[in-house]
Amino acid sequence: MLTVYIPGPTGLITFAPVPGEPVPHEAVWIDLLNPQQAEVMRVEEVCGLELPTREEMQEIEVSSRLYQEDGGMFLTATVLSQSESDHPETTAVTFILAGDRLVTVRHAEPKPFRAFALRALRQSSLRRADQILLGLLEAVIDRAADILERVTSDVDSLSREVFEHSRETGENIRDFQEILRHVGQTGNVSSRASDSLMSIGRLLAFLSQGIPVQSTKGVAKDARTQVKVMWRDVQSLIDHANFLAGKITFLQDATLGMISIEQNAIIKIFSVVAVIFLPPTLVASIYGMNFQVMPELEWRLGYPWALFLMLVSAVLPYLYFKRKRWL
């Protein structure tokens, strides 16, 4: 889908050119979402640049993601999308600064793009491509910060759930397997957010060295200052994401430890029961051998005596285990 944004009196004006209609030269932002080949060719014609393919956008080498070519600056970053679903994803988004025009190529619809596009319709100050680029990057960073804040809250909740000493038993025993699944999902979101922030940090470092010089209006200086502030924000968020990663790993290990403790407790009960019933089983086995010469078989009190021996042999180990606090 091809969407074009043109400066207006109260903000950006958006419209989608029909097939065959040329892209207006006054457009400051051209957004390509899951573009068709015909749409790519129309944008390449108006910009005079060759847009990267989806496969080229997914390259992980820095030289393939951040470069200048034919007078345009190509910036590819990893952006987190669908973070609130059970299957969060990261997608590559390419920002292309071509003179006074910004082109974005993406194959997903992250929330920052929708939010910024709606906000841009009401901001009359957005009239240049570099402003739109910085606004989009700031929206992506703010979204990543919101995601990390939610992850922090989830980690704190999971931490309380893992380490709380519940007195309830039976059907209300905590399901550590479900907790472990939530820990894994939280770690997945955190790691993807960290990956996105690292790619944005590299993009900002490259952008700070390649902002077009417009010293007469002081635009370049203001833009570099804004980029530097965003870069510091990204670094602080990366540090926080690393802290969360360590805490999530600790929670995962702790949950596995709790599962192991509960399994050991169950095995201990079976072991104790087996030991308690082992002596009565021995007594019953001895008197069940049916040899010819066994005085107790003809003894009138033989049967009560055998029951008494089995009872005592079961009670004594039980009392011993209770004294040792093994039960």
Is residue 59 located within the same domain as residue 90? yes
Q: What is the pLDDT of residue 142?
A: 92
Q: Which of residues 263, 290, 315 is at a domain's end? A: 263
CATH (domain of 304):
1.20.58.340
Question: Contact 4/28 with Cβ under 8 angstroms?
Answer: no
Long-range contact list for 274-278, CB < 8 A, 24+ apart?
275/317, 275/321, 276/314, 276/317, 276/318, 276/321, 277/314
How far is the C-alpha of 183 from the C-alpha of 162, rounded, in Å?
10
Is residue 291 located within the same domain as residue 185? no
Is residue 117 located within the same domain as residue 46? yes
Q: How many domains does the chain have?
A: 2
Is residue 271 located within the same domain as residue 154? no
Is residue 257 located within the same domain as residue 296? no
Residue 111: which H helix or E strand, with range? Answer: helix 111-120
Is residue 256 located within the same domain as residue 271? no
Per-residue CA distances from 293 to 185, 287, 288, 305 (Å): 70, 12, 13, 17
Is residue 269 located within the same domain as residue 257? no
Place of tokens 């957005």: 126
User: Token pair of 173, please?
Assistant: 């025993």
Is residue 235 located within the same domain as residue 269? no
Q: Which of residues 263, 279, 303 is at a domain's end? A: 263
Quick one: what percent of the chain has pLDDT higher than 70? 93
Is residue 277 located within the same domain as residue 192? no
Question: Contact 148/237 with Cβ under 8 angstroms?
Answer: yes
Is residue 179 located within the same domain as residue 148? yes
Residues 6+ apart with CB under 8 A from 18: none
Q: Which of residues 215, 237, 263 is at a domain's end? A: 263
Cβ-based burial of 188 (10 A; exposed 0-12, middle 13-18, buried ≥19): middle
pLDDT, tens only, 145-178: 999 999 999 998 888 888 875 444 444 456 778 8
pLDDT tens track, the chain, 327 positions: 888 888 888 888 888 777 777 777 778 888 888 888 888 888 878 777 888 888 888 888 888 888 888 888 899 998 888 887 778 888 899 998 887 888 889 888 888 888 888 888 888 777 788 888 888 999 999 999 999 999 999 998 888 888 875 444 444 456 778 888 888 888 899 899 999 999 999 999 888 876 654 433 445 567 788 888 989 999 999 999 999 999 999 988 888 888 887 778 788 888 888 888 888 888 888 878 877 777 777 777 888 888 888 888 888 888 888 887 776
CATH (domain of 199):
3.30.460.20
Domain that residue 293 falls in: 264-323
Tell me the pTM: 0.76
User: Token pair of 109, please?
Assistant: 């619809």
Q: What is the pLDDT of residue 167?
A: 46
Beta bridge partners of 101: 98
How far is the C-alpha of 275 from the C-alpha of 269, rounded, in Å?
10
How far is the C-alpha of 51 from the C-alpha of 271, rounded, in Å?
69
Is residue 272 located within the same domain as residue 297? yes
Is residue 186 located within the same domain as residue 84? yes
Q: What is the pLDDT of residue 210?
A: 67
